[in-house]
Amino acid sequence: MGAYLVRRFGLMLLTLFGISVIIFALLRIVPGNIVDILFDSAGMVDPAEKARIARDLGIDLPLPQQYVAWVSGIARGDLGFSYVSEKPALAEILPRIPITAKLAGLALTFSVLIGVPLGVISAVRQNSWIDYALRVLSLSGLSLPSFWLGLLILTAFVTWTDSMPIYSDRPESLWDTLLLYSVPAAAVGFRSSALVMRLTRSSMLEVLRQDYIRTARAKGASRQSVNYRHALRNALLPVVTVIGIEAAFLIGGLIVTETVFNIPGVARFLVEAIRARDYPIVQNLVMLIAVVVVLVNFIVDMLYAALDPRIKYSG
């Protein structure tokens, strides 16, 4: 187990190094840089002034030098300065992390709390009206783009309640937080919950046909015990994998949800930073997301062992 952990850790570092090179290179390949954009927004181009600003921002340096400066900065905890706000990148990024973390956490919770039970119900009541209804629901969850769903929800709120659940001020109490985040979390978690529901259903159906389930029934185990103690635990393995992957994919859904619900989180900030070619913000945010994804995958791998004792990690 120890050797496995060390190997996995080394692999994580290698992955992060690869990502850092790719994101650094990709950002420089995309046409236009912050200097172009600054001048573009002013509607004029003065080569001498552009060169001066490029020098001030350090983007006239050779690319390897820029890369080393960035990576060594991360090692020192210095993420550089945002080209747009001219504030430390860390000061711009840090306050946004809890916002997105809460939203993502709630969305993931929503998708699990809705997806798993409904998937189980759909499986144990296979081909009943409730199964058909849940399958239609899950299909719509997979088909509806989250930005459209978000706008529908907002429109419904404005029409029926004359209020609107968009972010305005930082919530002070836990209740305020839940109120503010639950609607966008539901909008973004709906798709994940549909996926989790369908996967739980198919996984449960497969497990319910196994011999040991028949044996358990033959031994007189109750329906509850068979479905939830014997079947569900074994059916959850692929579901956990998907939840892990979904956690990573969630960031994509959050970009539009944060925009539609006007939530000042990391995802929306990342898009704005890409538009402005704000390299320090984009590079560091993508690295942060990469670290989260790699860690989540690592945790999922560890969970396998907890869920299925047959899985052993050896050196």
Partner 1 sequence: MQRHTRLVFASTLLLAGIAAGAIAQAQEPKRGGVLRMYQRDNPPSASIHEGATFSVNAPFMSVYNNLVRYDTTKAEDTLDTVIPDLATKWSWSADNKALTFTLAPGVKWHDGKPFTSADVKCTMDLVQGKAQDRLRTNPRKSLYDNVLEVVPNGPLEVTFKLGRPQPSLLALLASGYSPMYPCHVSAAQMRTNPIGTGPFKLAEFKQNEIIRLVRNPDYFKPGRPYLDGIELPIITNRSTAMLAFIAGKLDLTFPTEVTQQVYKDLMAQVPNAVCHMGPVNVSTNLIVNRDKPPFDNADLRRAMALTLDRKAFNTIIAEGQAKIGTTMLPKPEGDWGMPEAMMQTIVGYGPDVAKNRAEARKLMEKNGYGPDKRLAVKISTRNIAAYRDPAVILIDHLKEIYIDGELDIVETGVWFGKVARKDYSVGLNLTGNSIDDPDQSFFENYSCNSQRNVTGYCNPELEKQFVAQSQETDIVKRRAMVWEIDRQLQEDVARPIILHNSSGTCWHPEVVGFRPARNSSYNRYRFENVWLNR
Residue 84 contacts partner 1 per CB under 8 A: yes
Query: What distance in Å separates the CA atoms of residue 225 and residue 227, rounded to the nearest whole number?
Result: 6
Residue 63 contacts partner 1 per CB under 8 A: no
Q: Quick one: 42 exposed, middle or buried, by C-beta within 10 A (0-12, 13-18, 19+)?
A: exposed
**57 and 35 in contact (C-beta within 8 Å)?**
yes
Nearer to partner 1, 167 or 313 (CB): 167
Nearer to partner 1, 99 or 194 (CB): 99
Query: What distance in Å separates the CA atoms of residue 161 and residue 149, rounded to the nearest whole number?
Result: 17
Nearer to partner 1, 201 or 268 (CB): 268
- Report the number of secondary-structure helices (H) and strands (E) in the chain: 14, 0
Smallest distance, Å, CB 45 to partner 1? 4
Nearer to partner 1, 164 or 248 (CB): 164
Residue 87 contacts partner 1 per CB under 8 A: yes
Rule CB under 8 A: which of 23-42 touch partner 1? Answer: 31-32, 36-42
Nearer to partner 1, 154 or 199 (CB): 154
Q: Which of 8, 12, 15, 49 binds partner 1 (CB under 8 A)?
A: 49
Residue 64, phi then psi, degrees to nearest 5: -60, -40
Q: Which of 12, 53, 237, 240 binds partner 1 (CB under 8 A)?
A: 53
Query: What distance in Å separates the CA atoms of residue 211 and residue 168, rounded to the nearest whole number?
Result: 56
Q: DSSP secondary structure string, 180-234?
A: HHHHHHHHHHHHHHHHHHHHHHHHHHHHHTSHHHHHHHHTT--HHIIIIIIIHHH
Smallest distance, Å, CB 112 to partner 1? 28
| Positions in the binding site for partner 1 (CB under 8 A) | 31-32, 36-46, 49, 52-53, 82, 84-87, 92, 151, 154-155, 157-158, 162-164, 166, 168, 259-262, 264, 268-269, 272, 275-277
